[in-house]
Structure 1
Amino acid sequence: MKQIIIIFLLFPTLFWSQTTFEKAQKLFDAENFDKAEDLFKSALKENPSDFKSLEYLGDIASHNKKWNDAVVYYKKLKELKPAVANNFYKYGGALGMKALEVNKFKALGMIDEIRGAFEQAIVLNPKHIGARWALIELNLQLPAIVGGSQAKAIKYSDELLKLSPIDGYMSRGHIDEYFKRYSDAERQYKHAIITSKSKASYTMLANLYQKKMNQPIKAKEVLEEYKNNKN
């Protein structure tokens, strides 16, 4: 009897928290992020370990490019759910964006943690696509003296090719484009188009023609081909 009374006493609070979260979720889906944020914060205040609210708040902070806030939310999220690969992936991404806004000396001190977060995402989910893309970009952007490596970038691209051919070809094209091997990049993007005919593959090839190879006519033809295939 005592347990039943306790349940009834707690029921209004549980009901309020649930409906608050649901309202926040609907606002988020409708891209009404400011109002959703307020409600998620209310839900989190009621339950500081509410990992779903934490993730949504991190996503909203990321959308608003408030990287300090995003890092805090995702850090707590990965601590609450250390077996979820995507929590480390989101944390590494937010930390990486934060590193772009601080001075170079402080950013250098963040590199190992950023890399470690992406690597842990792959340990937890060996098929994680996004973490490999992130590590490719990290290895391209960093100077060799602090861990950047074309060879490592290619390694992750090769892994992507086995997991997802479209991502493998596009990532290898991206690497070739970065090092100004434009003909090689063109070939990789064409492989990606043959493999998937995805908008992303057509866009990457068109951008290569337009921005790097000074071939606007070819860029236009590629986009026209995509539209025709889509229809």
Structure 2
Amino acid sequence: MTSILLEILYFWKMKLLLSFFLLFPLLLLSQSFEKGEKLFVDGKYNQAQLVLENYLKNNPSNLKALEYLGDISAYNKVWDKAISYYKRLKTLKPTEANYFYKYGAVLAMKASEISKLKALGIIGEVRSSFEKAISLNPKHIEARWALIELYLELPGIVGGSESKAVKYSEELREISPVDGYLSLGHIEEYFKRYPNAEKQYKRAILIGGSKICYQKLADLYKNKMNQPDKANKVWEDFKNKKK
């Protein structure tokens, strides 16, 4: 009886050991990802990159690892690498709006640093990526901001258009009134219609009252309208509001 019990215990011991050795690599990989994620969250991007790149070798389709590595590459302005990661993401999960938005954003950043002739070849993909993000998520705020900036910066001959920028600003106002007024203020400021921009930023302050709203108005007074006293007054109002 004792012999049989010993054999059973030995059998289960070996089975547990085998299970442990089979699961051990998976546990290490899981810990590796968690370590990389923590480093990323802590802003230790270079260390996070090394850990996550190593993790990705055995998990090439892990969406979160790919996104973190894309974000790190974008932060470091390694545009081609960021483009590659986001392209893989939107291929793996073509229903995620943010992947298309981030892909379009890094494409746009690359376009801003290459020759105008080469940039023209990718502007269409930049635009379509932002539009795709909106089609997947009709309430996507960042993609609309990106399209506003795109239509403002592009020359008219290749698609630049104030009316299209205003169209997306109006859509923003339906989703987020603060973003709507801020974006319209930005458009007015871009075309040097400063009194109109002032009105829009004041509306944003009334509705939202966030620091960015006050900052946009203060910067307008200080840098564009040469009215530093008004800029100081805006910041005083903001400080008093916080009390």
Query: What TM-score do you get using the length of structure 1 for normalisation?
Result: 0.96
Q: Residue in 2 aligned with 1:145?
A: 157
Distance of 1:115 and 1:97 partners within structure 2: 13
Task: Flag as ranges the 4+ runs of structure 1 deviating above 3 A.
Answer: 4-10
Q: Residues 67-117 of structure 1, C-alpha deviation per residue, up to 9 Å, x if partnerless?
A: 111111111111111100000000000110011111111101010000000
In the alignment, which residue of structure 2 is the partner of 1:68? Answer: 80
Indicate whether 1:129 and 2:141 are aligned.
Answer: yes
Q: Which runs of 5+ in 1 are unaligned?
A: none
Deviation string for 1:36-85 (max 9, x for gaps)? 00011011111111111000001111111111111111111111111000
Counterpart pick for 2:94 among 65, 82, 99: 82
In the other structure, the counterpart of 2:68 is: 56
Task: Select 1:103's aligned residue among 103, 111, 115.
Answer: 115
Q: Which residue of 2 aligns with 1:32?
A: 44
Alpha-carbon separation, structure 1, partners of 2:38 and 2:108: 29
Task: Please point out which of 226, 230, 234 is paired with 1:214.
Answer: 226
Q: Does 1:120 align with 2:115?
A: no
Identity %: 57
How many pairs were matched up?
228
Rounded to whole Å, the distance in 2 between the matches of 1:92 and 1:135 is: 10
How far apart in 1 are the matches of 2:59 and 2:121?
33
The unaligned stretches of length 5 or more in structure 2 are: 1-15
Cα distance in 2 for residues equivalent to 1:165 and 1:222: 21
Q: How does 1:125-204 map to 2 (within 5 A)?
A: 125-204=137-216
Distance 1:6 1:67, change over 3 A: farther
Taking structure 1 as reference, are residues 18 and 170 closer, same or farther at Cα in structure 2, changes over 3 Å only? Answer: same
| Aligned residue number for residue 31 of structure 2 | 19
Paired AA for residue 24 in structure 2 = P
Task: State the one-letter code of the partner of 2:176.
Answer: S
Q: CA RMSD in A?
A: 1.4
Counterpart amino acid of residue 39 in structure 2: L
- TM-score computed with the length of structure 2 as normaliser: 0.91
